[in-house]
Each structure stands twice: as structure tokens, then as C-alpha cells.
Amino acid sequence: MKILVCISHVPDTTSKINFTDNNATFDPTGVQFVINPYDEFALTRAMWFKEKQGASVTVINVGNASTEPTLRKSLAIGADEAIRVNAEATDGFFVAKQIAEVAKNGNYDLILAGKESIDYNGGMVPGMIASILDYDVVTACIGLEIDGSSATIIREIDGGKETLSGSLPLVIGGQKGLVEEKDLRIPNMRGIMTARKKPLTVVESIAFQNTTTSTNFEKPVPKGACTMITSDNVDELVSLLHEEAKVI
Amino acid sequence: MPVLVYAESSEGKFKKVALEATSYGKKVAQQLKDSLVVLTINCDNPSELNTYGADKIVTVSSNKNNSDAKFVANSIQQTAQKENASVIIIDSSANGLSIAPIVAIKLNAGYASNVVALPNSTSPLIVKRKSFSNKAFNHTEISTPVKIIGLAKNSFGLIESNTEASIEEFSPIIVNSSLSSVSIEKSSGTVSIADAEIVVSGGRGLKGPENWGLIEDLAAVLGAATACSKPVSDMGWRPHGEHVGQTGKPVSSSLYIAIGISGAIQHLAGINASKVKVVINTDPEAPFFKAADYGIVGDAFEVVPKLIEKLKLFKAQNA
Ligand SMILES: Cc1cc2nc3c(=O)[nH]c(=O)nc-3n(C[C@H](O)[C@H](O)[C@H](O)COP(=O)(O)OP(=O)(O)OC[C@H]3O[C@@H](n4cnc5c(N)ncnc54)[C@H](O)[C@@H]3O)c2cc1C
Ligand SMILES: Nc1ncnc2c1ncn2[C@@H]1O[C@H](COP(=O)(O)O)[C@@H](O)[C@H]1O
């Protein structure tokens, strides 16, 4: 089984988000970048398929050279090889086109991605890749088993979960549940050393016009001060919620 | 060229997000000085959409299920082509989120998800969307001839506007998927976080799973969903489905009550979109107070029972 894992390179969850150029551009100064948390679940599941079912695992990112440390980290966790499509990733549609192009040539049985990138929050790349390749897709995936060419997939739905059966090739948008938090791996020294020798191939992007463009960013308006209520005056909270906030 | 809304139903009934998307679609159609077409699939009472401004309703009846993303996406695509729609609006139910990207590819349409307001401008079409997990908003221009807007839950609300829509049945060409549904397991009885108007959430400050009766009782009085912080679900005190935050479920309820939660940046990122936030915490320095609207410094084990009692009284008086 050949698996392609899509790795998005995003600011660490603790990052404070700032913009420059009159709020037109995200400011990476002082920001630490990591593997998108949802993609880490996908990669960890891929490692399980590698170790238990002999799968080969390729990781892919669409980005400029600054994303390479994130790909190296994925190799250190255990992926066999990495591909970077050399382009600025500014539109989900564009990213999906690039990944689908690589996937077409690579004949992957399974394409694993995260359910969304925590920076751009598009939630669109997996569905788009699948649609371009005419594969089926399941997002918000919290369980995945593969047996030969058939798959059993569990996805989260509003107010519950659904079990599906399907067959490869498939695209999956994963989240916690695909593996548990405790299964996530921190690369060890040996992993880091061998990662240096694993192939990281840079391919040029295919021409494709962006379908969307970010014009500018806006920070949420700072909140007014919190109205404090003393603990022996719970009554007041009830009336404030009713009369002032009008939420009960 | 009209605006097309896909209004999702479940077991024949519209979801709230579907009516919200229709309300939103009506306003966009007015901005564009055009009409609103709404697509429904396997819905018992499509004329309910007259209350939210549909000018035309296209109904599809099929033995295929609404949760089959490929089937729904193809139905939307074919309806959009038939109606010559220029803007398509898709709600953000779990199904809506998996359908929209497929439609985008089929129609070569630019797609902006997590949109929280009416377009700032229609030519070019620019929408405001959530980004950086609620730490910022992004204004995105969609530049393709056909445009898709994914509307974030509870960001617009329901707006009535009465119309008499024509109803037309449509039989799209069906495309088969390799996926089939084996079973659905609903979380028992309680309100789901996605649909809830009010969410009551507990953190590590509650000390252990045995104390969750407090959270459940408070949620019961308010008709609220229950949620928790990440460590609480990691320790197995509560199911994973209840974990909210940047890496858990997003919450955009009208009221969010956080009990014994410190307010870490990753937690706040997921719940910031809630309108009113109440915090109950023993530590006056807890960062959550900076993000809250109402706060009580106090012990949950004393404050929450009092709050439940007062709310019961309030409910009795306002019933
Ligand atoms: C990559 C990453 C992703 C993460 N994603 C998420 C996420 O999605 N969601 C999330 O929630 N967290 C997330 N976290 C974890 C986050 O950083 C915090 O650790 C977590 O939110 C803290 O949970 P808590 O507030 O329940 O616990 P604590 O931080 O331990 O806070 C407990 C609070 O309870 C108060 N308290 C104690 N006793 C009482 C009492 N008797 N009555 C009232 N109050 C009391 C304390 O004063 C304290 O403020 C993430 C972390 C990382 C690194
Ligand atoms: N630039 C990128 N390179 C590789 N994979 C990506 C990229 N952007 C998004 N993805 C993948 O697509 C998923 C959904 O991303 P998004 O649609 O951007 O929210 C992510 O979790 C990644 O797995």
C-alpha cells in the first residue's frame, strides 16, 4: 500500500498572530512553525500502516523552502520520503491541484490529510483532491482500518458518528481519534539522523490561476472588561444573562 | 444570475443551519438584485423555505441518502448549472463541510469557507471569514465566475422574509460512490455541541469525572450541550466528542459557560466565536476572565449548585 500524507506547515497553537503591510500579510516574526496538529494524527496513523501492514509513506507539502524543517520532522517521525511542491500556498484550490498532480503520477492507494489547517481553516483541500482525482473522500475521520483494498471508516457527524465501508483509493481528512494523543511521536535522535539521509524531492508547481485571494486580515475587536459578580450574588448573574445579554 | 442555497435536511426536516443559509442567501440575492433558488433533498416540507425568502425551490427525491457527499455534490452541481447560479451557499453542517469542496472542483468555482458575514462587496465578491482558529478574520476575494460561500454556523441567524416560491422537482443524474453507510451512532439524548444555543463546559478544576453531575444538571436546566477542555477528555473523564478548542470542536453558541477552565490560548481559540462567555473559576488571575463577559471568582462546588437553583426558579417564573 502506498500512502501519501499531506502536511501543512502552520504556526504553533500558542502563537500570537500578527500582521504587517497594513494587515495585508501574516507576520511570521517570532512564530514557531509545526506540523498541522490534524496532519500529525494522519501521519501517525500512516506510521501504523507502515509498521503493521508494510505500507510505504510519502509526505507532501506545497510551500516554499521555509517549510522543509516541517517535512524533515515528518521524516524523523518515520515517513520514507518527502516531496515539496515549490510554490506559495495561498489558495486551497491551488494546493489541491498541486497535490492531485503528484498523486496522479504516484499511484497512491490512500491519501491522508488533516480535516483542516489551523492557520487558514479552509477545510477544503482533502475534498478537492478527491474530487479532482475522482476518488471518494471522508473528512472529520476518527477511525480508519484497511484490509486489502477495502476500508472501514468512522467519521464524526453532527451529534454522533457514522461508520462507512469503502474501497481504495480513498482520501481521508483526519482528526483526533484516527490515533490517540498518546500515540503521537516525538522524533528521537536516531529518527532525526536517518531523516537527513532520506530523500526530500523538490518539484516545480503546475501553472494554475488562484481562485481566491486574501485581501487583508482583521483582529477581533478587543473585548470590553468582564463584568464581575460576587459568588454570593448568583441571582445577579441570572438577571444579567436574561436582561442585558438576552441569552436565557 | 440567481443565488443558489443548498438547504440540508435530516430525516425530512430542515436543520437550523439550512434555514440560516437560506436567510443569508436571501440577503446576498438582494445585494445582487437577483432571485434566490433553494435546493432541498429528501425533505418533507420544502415550503417552509417560504418563510426565509426562497423565490424558487428545487426538490430532489432519491433513495440515496443526504449524507452521501458525492450524490449531494452532484445534485448541487447540476442544479447550479441548470439554474445558471453565480453564487452558491452551503451550510456548515458536518455534511455541508464535506460537500462544498467537491462542488467547487466540479464547477471550477472559488470557495471560501467559515464565512461569518454578508459580502463586504459584491463586485469583486469579498467575504469575511474566520482564520487562525478565531485569532483573526480574513477578507477573501473570490475571483471565479461561479463562487461558493461556506457559511459558518450561528454567524448570521434566522431572518424571516415571506415569499411564495415556485416548487420544481428535479432528477439529477446519479453518480455512484464506493462508500456506503454501515451504521450511525447518535450520542445519547443530550443536545449536540454543534447545534446547541448554550454550551456548559467543565475543566480540570472539577477534579474528577464523579463531579460531572454538576455540569450535567446545569446543562439540563438550560437545555444546553455539555463540553469539556482537552485534558479532561485526554484523561478519559469525558468522551472525546466533548473536547472543544482549537484542536477539538469549535463552539459558536450564543452562551458559553466555562467552569474550572483556566482559559489557555488553545481553548479560547475554539470558543471565541461564542457570543456571551461566563467564567466560574477560583483563581481571579485565570486568563479566561480576560476573554469573558461575566465572571464569578469562586469555587465551582459552591457556585454551580446555587446557580442551578436560581435558574430553576427563573425558569419557573418565566415559563
Ligand atoms: C497543541 C495543543 C493543542 C491544544 N488544544 C486544546 C484544545 O483544543 N482545547 C483545550 O481545552 N485545550 C487545548 N490544549 C491544552 C491547553 O493548553 C490547556 O492545557 C487546557 O485547556 C487546560 O485545561 P483546563 O483549563 O481544564 O485545566 P487547567 O489549566 O488545569 O485549569 C483548571 C482551572 O480550574 C480552576 N479551578 C480549580 N479548582 C476549581 C474549583 N473548585 N472551582 C472553580 N475553578 C477551579 C483553576 O483555577 C484553573 O484555572 C492544547 C494544548 C496544545 C499543546
Ligand atoms: N500547503 C499544503 N501542503 C500540503 N498539504 C496541505 C497544504 N494545505 C493544506 N494541506 C492539507 O489539507 C488539509 C486541510 O487543509 P485546509 O483545506 O487548508 O484547511 C490539511 O490538514 C493538510 O493535510
pLDDT in tens, B196-228: 899 999 999 999 999 999 999 999 999 999 999
Compute the average pLDDT of residues B295-307. 98
Please name which of B120, B116, B143 lies closest in space to residue B131, comparing C-alpha atoms. B116
* Residue listed under C-alpha cell 454567524: B155
Q: What separation in Å is there between the alpha carbon of B230 and the centre of ligand 1?
A: 7
Q: Exposed, middle or buried: residue A148 (CB in 10 Å: 0-12, 13-18, 19+)?
A: exposed
Q: Which of B130, B192, B279 sits opposite A158 (nearest CB)?
A: B192
Q: Which of A11, A38, A211 sits opposite B110 (nearest CB)?
A: A211
| Residue A201 maps to a domain | yes
> Cα–Cα distance between B245 and B271 in angstroms, integer?
6
> Cα–Cα distance between B42 and B76 in angstroms, integer?
13
Q: Is the pLDDT of residue A196 over 70?
A: yes
> Cα–Cα distance between B127 and B132 in angstroms, integer?
16
| Residue A212 maps to a domain | yes
Residue A32: CB atoms within 10 Å: 9
Closest atom of ligand 1 to B270 CA is 8
| Residue A185 maps to a domain | yes
Secondary structure of B187-205 in HEC code, one letter for each residue: CCCCCCCCCCCEEEEECHH
pLDDT band at B189 (very low <50, low <70, confident <90, very high): low
Chain A CB within 8 Å of residue B69 CB: yes
Beta carbons of B292 and A158 less than 8 Å apart: no
Q: Which residue has its alpha carbon closest to ligand 1 atom 51?
A: B266
Q: What separation in Å is there between the alpha carbon of A126 and the centre of ligand 2?
A: 7
pLDDT computed for residue B188 by the predictor: 64
Please say whether the beta carbons of B154 and B198 come within 8 A.
no
Number of domains in chain A: 1
Q: Strand A110-114 relative to strand A2-6: parallel, antiparallel, unpaired? A: parallel
Q: What is the 8-class DSSP label of residue A240?
A: I
Residues 6+ apart with CB under 8 A from A52: none
DSSP calls for B149-186: EEEPTTSS----B----EEEE--PPP---S-EEEEEEE
pLDDT band at A7 (very low <50, low <70, confident <90, very high): very high
Please say whether the beta carbons of A77 and A47 come within 8 A.
yes
DSSP calls for B214-230: HHHHHHHHHTPEEEE-H
Chain A CB within 8 Å of residue B176 CB: no
Q: Is A37 in the pocket of ligand 2 (CB under 6 A)?
A: no
| Residue A87 maps to a domain | yes
- Find residues 192-211 of chain B whose CB sits inside 8 Å of chain A: 192, 194-195, 197-198
A34-51 burial, b at 16+ Cβ within 10 Å, e below that, comes to bbbbbbbbbbbbbbebbe
| Residue A17 maps to a domain | yes
Q: What separation in Å is there between the alpha carbon of A88 and the centre of ligand 2?
A: 13
Compute the average pLDDT of residues B29-37. 97
| Residue A192 maps to a domain | yes
Confidence (pTM) = 0.91
Closest atom of ligand 2 to A129 CA is 12
Q: Is the pLDDT of residue B116 over 90?
A: yes
pLDDT in tens, A113-129: 999 999 999 999 999 99
Beta carbons of A162 and B181 less than 8 Å apart: yes
| Residue A166 maps to a domain | yes
Please say whether the beta carbons of A43 and A59 come within 8 A.
yes
Chain B CB within 8 Å of residue A31 CB: no
CATH number at residue A154: 3.40.50.620
Residues pairing with A5 in the sheet: A59, A112
Which residue range forms the structural domain that includes residue A130? 2-221
ipTM of the complex: 0.92
Beta carbons of A227 and B295 less than 8 Å apart: yes
Q: Is B262 in the pocket of ligand 1 (CB under 6 A)?
A: yes
Q: Is B252 in the pocket of ligand 1 (CB under 6 A)?
A: no
Q: Which strand (E) or helix (H) includes residue A44?
A: helix A37-53
Please name which of B315, B278, B270 lies closest in space to residue B295, comparing C-alpha atoms. B278
Cα–Cα–Cα angle for A227, A228, A233, rounded to 5 degrees: 120
Q: Is B266 in the pocket of ligand 1 (CB under 6 A)?
A: yes
Domains of chain B: 3-169 (3.40.50.620), 198-317 (3.40.50.1220)
Q: Is A38 in the pocket of ligand 2 (CB under 6 A)?
A: yes
Which of A157, A223, A235 has the most B C-beta neighbours within 10 Å, making it the best mutation to test the interface with B?
Answer: A157
Please say whether the beta carbons of A60 and A82 come within 8 A.
yes
| Residue A140 maps to a domain | yes
